[in-house]
Amino acid sequence: MPDSTQININTKGKEQNTFDAIVIGSGISGGWAAKELCEKGLKTLVLERGRDVQHNKDYPTANLSRWELPHRGRVTQQTIKQNPLISKAAGYDEATQHFFVKDADHPYVQEKPFDWIRGYQVGGKSLTWGRACARWSEYDFTSPERFGYGKNFPIGYDDIKDWYSHVEKFIGVCGNADGIPSMPDGEFLPAYELNKVEQHLQKVIKEKFNRHYVSGRWAHITEPTQIHIDQGRTQCLNRNLCMRGCPLGGYFSSVSSTLPWAKKTGNLTVRPHSVVHSIIYDEQKGKAVGVKVIDANSKEEMIFYARIIFVNASALNTNLILLNSTSNRFPNGLGNDSGVLGKYICFHNYRGSMWGYMPGFEDWYYKVSKPAECIIANFRNVEKRDTDFFGGYVIYSGASREKLSDADATTPLGAEYKDALSHPGRWTVYMYMQGETIAKESNHVRLSATEKDQWGIPLLITSVDYDENDDKMVQDFLQQGKAMMEAAGVKDISTWDSKQAPGLDIHEMGGVRMGSDPNTSILNEFNQLHHCKNVFVTDGACMTSTGSQSPSILYMAFTARAVAHAVEEMKKGNI
């Protein structure tokens, strides 16, 4: 790769295209990188490959009732036929499909089945995420080496806990201080109340199993504080239409929170329709100097320059960009001296689920259809290994009443039928798992040597699969979940192992993992490339192991911590 100043492409001049920092990606972690960098006075460019989305203005279905949608919210058979992959995604329907990438718009090669769920727009998947925000515990950080199935992160809970607090206060996370060792408490807004059946489940599961069934920690403003008011956000009204975009800013997304906050500093530039080709490494300077971009519409190539670069393109795209960033110094991808770039891809195991009917409780209902779930904190392989598999799992759960009760085939039409519709039906209870998977070298992504996308960038090949450990974990959940539901009196319990492909969990992680040893990792303890110190990766690609808790808030904490370190290193002249 020649020196970046010698590349003859059509730009408007290097000075105009130079910033203090570049952030690749505008989703959950990219938005946080932009906020933190801009607050610290750095002129920051955010590159987003998709279209622009502005808070409120670009939520076309946010206030529509289901009967106002052309197909009452259902996806047409034609849409499913054209999008067999993305149409399987959680939350995908007629009212949200504009926030998901169509199958044909960005192909990839599945060496093994992998459902890659993407959202290319300003805000990324922060517009459609599940919003679960439980903290990792020290057990999550240390289990891989304690039990011998992987590498630990180069940091522990004590290194990140204050950054968790920093993030929680800003985004708004509801929950209770439950005192659970495997799910630490945080800076919480008031939690969602458990309904009567959930309270019953909580009591039985604690008494008979000594396990914790509690209100989940969710990125919803149940009671705004001044920082949320200053963001222009207000209380969640429990409309439960979150994935359409929330006009109130009741749940956290980049477009309602971090990006507008960054814009207020006067230091932010957002460039949508910017497909990142690669990061440019200057061998004489021994660092990255810029980012090569292809305009998504015009196909024009251009380069933007900066002193530091944050790569937050979402885990697999981050791998793709780094693998495609080759030079004489890094022929196998930027920073890839160890050869592990693209390897140790991991994800969360969501295969197991169950539901059943709860008799009784007919005199009870609930105030709202809350947009948050209950959670059973991980109880497997916490302090010691107590199963024949590695890792643990959390269980998400809830109880509600059927909307149609007596209105079945035996109910006559007319007034009696309409009367039946006005009465709530039976209580139902569900549980589903979110399990840790083992980061394995064989689970990897790489670039195709022959196939390219419409911008001339090599297609990504995914080679990721389950193993026997995952199968054992699913069976344990199905047994333990059913036992807890039966103990609580739930009837007619149905259990499933969906055997869904990896990726549908939308928690892909790894490939650019953190570690203390540059020979077995790509990033150091501050999310810097070991061998290219002015490039940082703080999205899911940085993960060394998966833990059992949802990872998005950890990415946000990693990002804030990494920015603080990057700015300090810049002040010292080290990068």
Alpha carbon separation from 355 to 79, 261, 400, 404 (Å, rounded)? 29, 42, 11, 17
Query: CA-CA distance, 442 to 189, in Å (whole number)?
Result: 42
Same domain? 183 vs 319: no
Query: CA-CA distance, 319 to 337, in Å (whole number)?
Result: 15
Same domain? 374 vs 341: no
For residue 374, the model assigns a pLDDT of 98
Same domain? 169 vs 79: yes
Q: Which residues of 253-282 are buried (b: 16+ CB within 10 A; e: fewer)?
A: bbbbbbbbbbeebebbbbbbbbbbbbbbbb
For residue 5, the model assigns a pLDDT of 32
Q: Which domain holds residue 425?
A: 179-215+351-435+466-501
- Please indicate, yes or no, if residue 300 is contained in any of the structural domains: yes
- Please indicate, yes or no, if residue 343 is contained in any of the structural domains: yes
The conformation of residue 437, written as its DSSP 8-state character, comes to -
Same domain? 474 vs 455: no
For residue 522, the model assigns a pLDDT of 98
- Please indicate, yes or no, if residue 562 is contained in any of the structural domains: yes
For residue 547, the model assigns a pLDDT of 97
Say if pTM beats, i.e. exceeds, 0.75. Answer: yes
- Please indicate, yes or no, if residue 220 is contained in any of the structural domains: no
> If you count them, how many residues does the chain have?
575
CATH number of the domain bearing residue 239: 3.50.50.60
Same domain? 137 vs 255: yes
For residue 426, the model assigns a pLDDT of 92
For residue 417, the model assigns a pLDDT of 75
- pLDDT means over runs of 10, the chain (575 residues): 36 80 98 98 98 97 96 95 96 97 95 98 98 98 97 98 98 98 98 97 98 98 98 96 97 98 98 98 97 97 98 98 98 98 98 97 88 97 97 98 64 75 88 98 98 97 98 98 98 98 98 98 98 98 98 98 98 95
Same domain? 114 vs 202: no
For residue 51, the model assigns a pLDDT of 98
- Please indicate, yes or no, if residue 226 is contained in any of the structural domains: no
Same domain? 279 vs 381: no
Structural domain total, the chain: 2
- Please indicate, yes or no, if residue 225 is contained in any of the structural domains: no
Q: Give 523's strand partners.
A: 514, 529
Same domain? 422 vs 329: no
Same domain? 389 vs 419: yes
- Please indicate, yes or no, if residue 361 is contained in any of the structural domains: yes
Same domain? 142 vs 97: yes
- Please indicate, yes or no, if residue 362 is contained in any of the structural domains: yes
For residue 425, the model assigns a pLDDT of 87
Same domain? 403 vs 482: yes
Query: CA-CA distance, 361 to 300, in Å (whole number)?
Result: 63
CA atoms within 13 A on the CB side of 258: 33
Same domain? 26 vs 153: yes
For residue 319, the model assigns a pLDDT of 98
